Amino acid sequence: MTGMGKLFVISAPSGAGKTTLVRKVLSRFRSLSYSVSHTTRSPRKNEQNGFDYFFISLEEFEKKINLNLWLEWAKVHDNYYGTSRQFVRNCLEKGQSLLLDIDIQGAKQIMGSDLDLVSIFIIPPSFEVLSQRLENRGTDSREVIAKRLKNAKLEMTQKDLYQYVVANDDLDEAVEELCSIFEKETAQP
């Protein structure tokens, strides 16, 4: 019989390069699945429903909050984000390892659950680099960028809640460091 899968939770301030790192790691670990979060925000250019996120209405999201169907959920930058409790449990019970790319609020909720997890926090090389990355994205207004930077300062003070902290100042090095964490944590005893 297959054992339980391993749950990996990765968080980072907006613009730290988490999505790029996660995609590179997933391409190297075929046994690792990605948990697609639900959100009430509008899709960005090139984002696909069911691949990047499940884009749902505010009403549908709040209904699922009331029914306790989220493993974790949070309101971030004026939008809801959440992870389906049933989806995560089904994957883990099948022996499938799962990666969740979620914010700190959601990570804290999962850390307080009965699930065994590995937590990883991605930090940018500096606050200045983070600011430049957000501006270079060209997807957000100045007000949204200012809000993301304010939130990033607070988020980075909470990195010690995580088992691992990975600095993303050199993409290839950060990918290798993340891959070594996955190898170590999924190795059979």
CA 57 to CA 62: how far, in whole Å? 9
CA 105 to CA 133: how far, in whole Å? 23
pLDDT at 1 over 60: no
Q: Which pLDDT does position 56 carry in this prediction?
A: 97
Domain limits, the chain: 7-186
Q: Which pLDDT does position 140 carry in this prediction?
A: 74
Which class is domain 7-186?
Answer: alpha beta
Q: Which pLDDT does position 188 carry in this prediction?
A: 64
CA 58 to CA 74: how far, in whole Å? 12
Read off the pLDDT of each residue in 143-165 and give the average, rounded to a whole number: 88
CA distances from 138 to 80, 135, 141, 167 (A): 22, 6, 8, 23
Read off the pLDDT of each residue in 21-50 and give the average, rounded to a whole number: 90
What residues does 120 pair with on adjacent strands?
Answer: 10, 164
- Residues ≥6 apart with Cβ < 8 Å to 11: 18, 101, 102, 103, 104, 106, 107, 119, 120, 121, 122, 155, 162
Read off the pLDDT of each residue in 12-25 and give the average, rounded to a whole number: 86
pLDDT band, residue 2 (cuts 50/70/90): low
**The pTM is what?**
0.84
